[in-house]
Amino acid sequence: MSLRTTPTIVICLVAGVGAAASLAIPGPSLPGSTPPPAVSPYASEQSADAAQQAEGSQPAASTVQINIADFAFDGQLTVSPGQVIEVTNLDGAPHTLSANDGSFDTGVLEGGETAQIVAPTTPGTYSFICRIHPSMTAELTVAP
């Protein structure tokens, strides 16, 4: 059975591709307008700044480091509320650092990749896991 191309199908395909392209390519801004900030599904430095502004707190003193090495989490696991945490995967295998309660998540980090997450602003202990390797678990302590 062969597929017949009709003008209606071609018009719909072209319109769909054009609509997708217009969504993917930012257009010119109106004079005097401020473009919206880029939004990521994962926490970033931008979201750290936004969270701190919303909370009315001062920026965290420094970025802390958590490494993933030998299928384990290693590094500074006690942080200040809202502190930026840099996570680096030193393994050859992909990993995530994902809070059990969904409050932070790096997404998948391939070997050698680094991502930043923001610690919750509420003090407490937050369990986290590698979603790819569920035997990899640890806890992040948020303390003022």
- pLDDT tens-digit profile of 77-122? 999 999 999 999 999 999 999 999 999 999 999 999 999 999 999 9
pTM beyond 0.75: the answer is: no
Instruction: Identify the three-state secondary structure at position 97.
Output: coil
For the chain, domains (ranges, CATH) are 45-142 (2.60.40.420)
**Cα 16 to the chain's mean position, in Å?**
29
pLDDT at position 44: 41
22-62, pLDDT tens digit by residue?
Answer: 444 444 444 554 444 443 344 444 444 444 444 444 444 58
Report the side by side order of strands in the sheet with 124-129. Answer: 78-79, 137-142, 124-129, 98-99
Percent of the chain with pLDDT over 90: 56
Distance CA 128, CA 117 (A): 13
112: left (phi over 0), alpha (psi -120 to 50) or beta: left
For 88-94, the CB contacts below 8 A with 24+ separation are 88/112, 88/113, 88/114, 89/113, 89/114, 93/132, 93/133, 94/132
